[in-house]
Amino acid sequence: MKQTVPLTIINAQLVTPEGITQGALCCGDGVILGVGADVTAAEGDTVVDARGKLLAPGLVDLGVFAVDKPAFHFGGITRAALMPDQSPPLDLPSRVGFIAKSGKPDLWVHPLAAATRGMEGRELAELALMQDAGAKAVATGRRWIADSGVMLRLLQYAAMLGLVVVTHAEDAALVGETAATAGEIATRLGLPAAPAEAEALAIARDIALAELAGARLHIRQVTTQRGLALVREAKARGLDVTCGITPAHFLLSDLATVDFRTFTRLSPPLRSEADRQAALAAIADGTIDVIASGHDPRGPEDKRLPFADALPGMAGAESLLALTLGLVRDDVIDLPRAFALLAANPARVLGVNAGILAAGAEADLALVDPQAPWIIDRRRMEATADNTPFDRHGTQGRVLGLWKGGVRIAR
């Protein structure tokens, strides 16, 4: 799907890295040609009147576990970085190449190559060949690589290739088959639990090895006060370390698990209220770089089980934008920062020319009404499964139009 006619969107509030400005945006041949108050439509352009609504970059969702186009389009997502935990895993160039083309024509899918063969944490996969096939990063998936020697070799190899390593930060020996964070709530519920320090230990080791290897490290989810402090300190020392979080971990605490509802069974598990508050502070001060959906739709066969037996995961793509805009209404961050977390920063981590409204960038655009109210209702979701922990949660912010490469793909 290629753009054949130039597109100009007028009367928009443009979300740019410099701030919010009133004006227009023009794009042609799939890229943005101009942004600002002095941009006007030329004869023959397709013209869309934004009527004062927000025009923002399409969201870049870093770390989804399934390609779920209707849910992505509903949520304003134009690019999705797919985790290697597939069946079969993305540990061969042929599989990576297939996934890299799977979103066409109306979604960019960026595969993350499996760090090790079979996702087993022992033997490095063919990273260079998978990079040539379209991998934008290398990831350890839902698991932490326990062998420090393997992890160091992975980081060294990735650094040589210029690839970022996306890690899951939970010490596997401490976590095991647990389902909750150790503390009062887990004790009262009788749930098998691991200490929150399992995250900090994993982060401390991975940062130390990344520094030794001179590698880029992205910790997909950092959810504890201690873990965030380690990332903050690493950044202060100038290390190339970034991290992300999902809305569940900055909006919910382990109190949400008291009714044993398995839609709150996540990985990492929900943390204490103190950790949740620390996450909000880390979003505000810039420690957290990316907000991602963690989109992992699970059917009833995986969720209608005792809490400890249910598989972790949530369907988060549809609510990602609206829940993040809640941070703006609560004065935690401003709008440019929100879209940096949702688009510009994940695009930069992946090394793709997207995520910002600027001349020369890919014309992935979202027209948004930030005030439009709606209720998250699992019975009406576009996702392939309805396992949202935010069922019946009122929110604001809806996508009115979505463009990929200058071509309209939704609404």
Print pLDDT tens along the chain (411 aa).
789 999 999 999 999 988 999 999 999 999 999 999 999 999 999 999 999 999 999 999 999 999 999 999 999 999 999 999 999 999 999 999 999 999 999 999 999 999 999 999 999 999 999 999 999 999 999 999 999 999 999 999 999 999 999 999 999 999 999 999 999 999 999 999 999 999 999 999 999 999 999 999 999 999 999 999 999 999 999 999 999 999 999 999 999 999 999 999 999 999 999 999 999 999 999 999 999 999 999 999 999 999 999 999 999 999 999 999 999 999 999 999 999 999 999 999 999 999 999 999 999 999 999 999 999 999 999 999 999 999 999 999 999 999 999 999 987
What is the C-alpha separation between 322 and 54, in angstroms, rounded?
A: 13
Work out the burial of residue 393: count CB atoms within 10 Å of its CB; fewer than 13 is exposed, 13-18 middle, 19 or more buried: middle
Residue 209, CB-side half-sphere exposure with 13 Å CA sphere: 24
3 state DSSP class of 326:
helix
Which residues, 6 or more positions from 208, have their beta carbon under 8 angstroms from its beta carbon? none
3 state DSSP class of 327:
helix
Q: In the chain, count of helices (H) and strands (E)?
A: 14, 18
What is the C-alpha separation between 17 and 390, in angstroms, rounded?
A: 30
- The token pair that represents 65 in the structure block: 């576990």
The residues spanned by each domain of the chain are 58-93+125-355+373-390
Work out the burial of residue 373: count CB atoms within 10 Å of its CB; fewer than 13 is exposed, 13-18 middle, 19 or more buried: exposed
Q: Is the pTM of this model over 0.85?
A: yes
3 state DSSP class of 408:
strand
Which residues, 6 or more positions from 321, have their beta carbon under 8 angstroms from its beta carbon? 59, 75, 76, 342, 366, 368, 397, 399
What is the C-alpha separation between 383 and 381, in angstroms, rounded?
A: 5
3 state DSSP class of 265:
coil
**36: amino acid identity, one letter:** G
What is the C-alpha separation between 102 and 107, in angstroms, rounded?
A: 8
**331: amino acid identity, one letter:** D
- The token pair that represents 330 in the structure block: 């609560």
Are 270 and 288 in contact, with CB atoms under 8 Å apart?
Answer: no
**Nearest alpha carbon to residue 138 among 103, 96, 102:** 96
- The token pair that represents 178 in the structure block: 């647990």
* Cis ω before 300 (30° cut-off from 0): no
**CATH for 58-93+125-355+373-390 (3.40.50.300, 3.30.499.10, 3.40.50.12780, 3.20.20.140):** 3.20.20.140
